[in-house]
Structure 1
Amino acid sequence: MRQHFTGILLFAICAALIPLIAINPAFSPPQNLQIQPSQNSSSSAPPDLTQDNNEIPANTIDHAQAEPSDTEPQNQDSGTAPVMEESGSFSILDESSGKIFSVSSKDFIRGALAAEMPPTFHPEALKAQAVAAHTYALCVQALQQDSPDPSLKGADLSADPQNWKSYTTEKIFRQRYGNMADAYWKAITDAADQVSDYIMVYENHPIVAAYHSMNTGMTEDAANVWTGNAPYLTPVESRGDALAPDFQVQQDFPAPEVKKALEALSPEVSLGDNPQDWIILGQRSPSGYILSVTIGGQEFPAKDLRTLLGLRSTSFLLNYANDTFSFTVQGYGHGVGLSQYGADWYARQGMDFSEILSHYYPTAKLGIVKEIS
């Protein structure tokens, strides 16, 4: 991808995205970067929102600000958005078939939005999600071109359109929604097309556009999830999340299953006879997320336990009774960056997409991308 900010710069922005850790119950960390799946529901209802778009390892954020852009600087205080160039297409490895296909940037944004957010969400929330997904995909594409992952077979990204993972097609979308397909596809395409020229930037660099389904009412600091600091990935209020469906759920696990899972974490984990002592919760972040857990005398990041058990987030209370571990979990996802349910709520209060993005990515600004002719 030829860009004014160059492959080298974008590699600096996204380099630490290796390895990506997919947060889902069937955890299997890939060796390199992939855009993350949305969790889908039955064919009679809109797909659920993605729980995370990514698990970004630590130094991504430091690298994202490590080098000056070779883009001719724009004075953002004057209201002029930085202008960057993109190739105008993405190559995608279909995880089901193993084949690589290419889509235009416009079609990718449509398909990514369709896979990531229900079409019934407010149009301004859809636009905000489209910009975030586009921004993230450009970073992924640049990373693959500078440091290719052999498992992607030369593609920029991987996806599973048939299963609504990261990207889906209009045909598959229409199969799901039946009689509502025309109206719903129009909602997706209208939103995606209106913002297809925008990405989020910080100091003329495309940002690490983390997003998630819902949080505790306050987004999480990226430094608590991956380490590194970014002023656009710091905690902000997210007022509508507590009103989201399934904001708080209980997840129960039989003690024998938990024991087997915990012992697989590390050979140094030694569990005693009292299950109540197996998992000791550590400190919470100001946003309400557990930062660490002690398991069998060994300390682990709380996200490791989340991954292991398929918990919806690391904001939880834990109770043990009747040979069962019960987790009362709030939110869904890592909690960093844009909240999808929060974006929908703010849109319904009158915010437009740019205001939503500015709220969830403080200090970042809209940038303009133009396709290379």
Structure 2
Amino acid sequence: MNRLLRIAVLATALSSCLSHAQQNPQDHQEELYRAALRALSDGKLEEASAMLQRVVDQQPRHAGAWLDLAISQCELGKSAEAERLFVRLEQGFSLPSGIVETIARYRATGCGKPAARRDAWLVVATRGRDDNVNQGARDPRFSIGTGSTLTEYELDPDFLPKADGFSQLAASWLKPLGNSGTNAIVQAYSRWHEHERTHDTASVLGAVEHTWTAGGWRLRGTAVLGYVTLDRTLYQRQQQVQARLAPPLKLAPGAEFALYANASRVIYPTRPAYDSNTVELGGIAGYRSKRSLTQATLTRLQDDSSKSRPGGDRKGWFGSLQWYGEVNERLTLEAGLTRQHWRSERIYSPRLIETRRLQNTTTVRAAGQWQLRPYQSVVLEWRGTFNRENISLFQYNSRALQLSLRWDNF
């Protein structure tokens, strides 16, 4: 049913593209359409078809509903009816290339059979500037010791914020492994600076994900293996297992909810004292309208480390609020806010820094994407990170502005 959900999202985009031809539908009709999309994503084809038929009866210029109805009929094995609806779409609307390709794939494979899934590519070239590439301390003064041994020092300039320009290149590739809901994913990233070359980073990640559906439940599992370099030296090895479980809840049209779990192992080859095992448990809630998506995440964190890591194990939480909106056929806006809280279980460094480390990191992000031509867009993004701690050595602010050129599925 993942395929149906992707088709439903594509159909919603088609309906937006052709909104100039629609007849100002009533709110209850749009609610009916969103309910039909929900039924499609839950695999309730007969129920979705009935609702979609009511939508097109009331709104004959609703292109998205026509496409979803045709696809649902095809999935039910009703080839003749699906073909009639495909022809109705082609004759009644000016279809975007993506919809034309989708219809062609269904015709080529035959109704009732899985449509062939295609590889997905993304390449992004970026140029930007960051006012604190080294996460330099916000306050140049710090104190060590306690009581009569408390001594104040001033940081060396190398540990204060350094601004620099940077370039980066990122690429990702998703390859469906058959039609069983399994995907292979590869991502690579490299960032290099004009002057602060010791902070150059690169990473490569490989993952396999699979989606299971049963009785209205949907489970997506992912296994990840990654490597990160810093200053051209291996800095991290990462292993992760993730699960996202969507229960069959009766939610309002457009509403989404899923439980989330993540277990990760991070190894630092040059700093083994910082090796850690982290478990994250929580939930993701969202609301999808015709032209936007709002999503909130809240999780509980537990990070277990080796005995020699300063501060020892730590506990915390993570929260995020994300919004994505389509302004028109070419302009998309994004905004995000994240907050992460950590509290160490032990004194950070006995006799030197006699306190348990308390860390609060807030990240604010805003971006706009403008489509230049099919498969090519330009993205302007601003990001601010504000790290507040009770140990002044680790407090920092960082603000970055970047401009990217991206190619999708070229």
TM-score bracket, normalised by the shorter chain, equals under 0.3
* Structure with greater proportional strand content: 2
Flag the structure with larger Rg: 2
Question: Relative contact order, CA 8 A, sep 6+: which one is greater?
Answer: 1
TM score, norm. by length of structure 1 = 0.22
* Structure with greater proportional helix content: 1
